[in-house]
Structure 1
Amino acid sequence: MDGQAERPASGGENGAIRKRLPPAERRQQIIDEAVRFFAEVGLEGKTRELARRLGVTQSLLFNYFATKDELIDAVYEKVYIGRLSPDWPERLTDRSVPLRYRLLAFYTEYSALIFEREWMRIFMFSGLDGASLNRRYLKHLGDVILHPLLAETNALARTNTPPKMEDVWNLHGGIVYIGIRQHIYRMPEPPKPQEEIARAIDKYLLFFGIDPGD
């Protein structure tokens, strides 16, 4: 239970010394270490090993998270949902600002949050393991960011073929790939990632005949 006080202990299941912490602080410590742990070993990593790294007993771990799935949900909230700014949908649909600048502002902020090892590796491990974490995230992202972006593109497109959701995913996926290249393939990132992002956005807009000033 989250509110359950920890009992003083001189050692855990592996002899580790455990420092007594307030419940909220201990819960956050577990989540922070779980993020690092699952990014390193994948979502199949054992909670017993996570407890060993934390220097606590496995039973204490389950005082805070009744199941491993509950712990993974907490990791999901911290790494993925917690990084989505609540004002992004409003800013992306603010037609007083040219679409190009809305996209640049969004992807500059978004890339700064996701171009890191933990985000990329947990996302990839989730997909490989068949876990629901990345599917849930992509659905949420589609609902709050990408579908509104499609509507904004359609409002300005000057081509006979209207933009489709696949076009938006291609833009988004191409930008995310910059981070994948660095943290998954372990290749150097572009010298100026923001220039690559701007180039991808301009190509997307040009394809639909959208003037950068629109």
Structure 2
Amino acid sequence: MTITEDGATETRPRRRNMRAPEREQAILDEAIRFFAEQGFAGQTRELAKRMGITHSAIYRHFPSKEALIERVYEHVYLSRWKSSWGPLIADRSRPLEQRLRQFYREYVEQVFDHDWVRIFVFSGLRSVDITSRYLDKVRGEVIEPACAALRAEFDLPDISEVPLCERETEMFWGLHGRVFYIAIRRYVYQAPAPRDLDEIISDAVRIFVIGAREVLPEIVRREG
């Protein structure tokens, strides 16, 4: 029972006792929101206060702040990565432009999320390795396979004959960054950004493929 400012009394509902897995998930869910708002400079003591639990209660489930951040990475990033994306990029039975449109439409559905984007940015600013690990995954499963697929699309030498060069991969990072920047505008800058992305993705991919058809043969010839 508590006394309000006007002298009245009120009874606060008792917090429901949670089983250990439920408590752990509740801490994780709140940590995701907390880090998305405060960044990784936010302290677990403040997280505990925000949840109305003791600081030690967090460490009964997560032995360190680093362990909690690792679970955030697994839950927010790895769980949203679709195992079908790699085979989609590699499927040369369909035109690459079509595959890229499908990939980026599915990708934005997974990553255009307030907490996902802000944690990603805060991670890069604080040198937490969430950003670098995730970008390594993008490079290995999307960027480099897409570069190889583009070579095949244009009947250019395979990467086993002429290895990928930085100019090639940077072309694809440019496409990837163009799509992701819409999320940055929306969730970091709080600036107007389009909501219906289907046609915007189609335009971005089409412009990329047209430009690559003009530039890529020259790049590969120079590398070869």
Inter-partner Cα distance in structure 1 for 2:25 and 2:102: 31
* Match status 1:178 vs 2:182: yes
- The SS at the match of 1:209 is helix
Structure 1, 124-133 or 185-194: larger mean CA deviation: 185-194
- The SS at the match of 1:189 is coil
Counterpart of 2:39 in structure 1 is: 42
Larger Rg: 2
Inter-partner Cα distance in structure 1 for 2:32 and 2:61: 15
Inter-partner Cα distance in structure 1 for 2:196 and 2:107: 16
**TM-score with structure 1 length normalisation?**
0.85
Counterpart of 1:96 in structure 2 is: 93
Counterpart of 2:67 in structure 1 is: 70
Q: Residue 76 of structure 2: which of 70, 75, 79 is its match? A: 79
Inter-partner Cα distance in structure 2 for 1:92 and 1:85: 12
Inter-partner Cα distance in structure 1 for 2:97 and 2:151: 14
Q: Residue 117 of structure 1: which of 114, 118, 127 is its match? A: 114
Inter-partner Cα distance in structure 2 for 1:194 and 1:105: 10
Structure 1, 167-176 or 89-98: larger mean CA deviation: 89-98
Q: Which residue identity lines up with residue 208 of structure 1 in the other structure?
A: A
How much identity, in percent, do the aligned residues show? 39
* Cα shift readout 1:155-190 (whole Å, capped 9, x = no counterpart): 113689997111111110110001111111111112
* Cα shift readout 1:34-73 (whole Å, capped 9, x = no counterpart): 1100000101101011112222111110011000000001
**TM-score with structure 2 length normalisation?**
0.81
Deviation at 1:191, TM superposition (A): 5.1
Deviation at 1:18, TM superposition (A): 4.5
* Cα shift readout 1:132-170 (whole Å, capped 9, x = no counterpart): 110111011211222111111111136899971111111
Unaligned stretches of 5+ in structure 1? 1-15
Alignment of 1:54-69 (within 5 A): 54-69=51-66
Counterpart of 2:201 in structure 1 is: 197
* Closer/same/farther in 2, CA of residues 162 and 116 from structure 1, 3 Å limit: closer
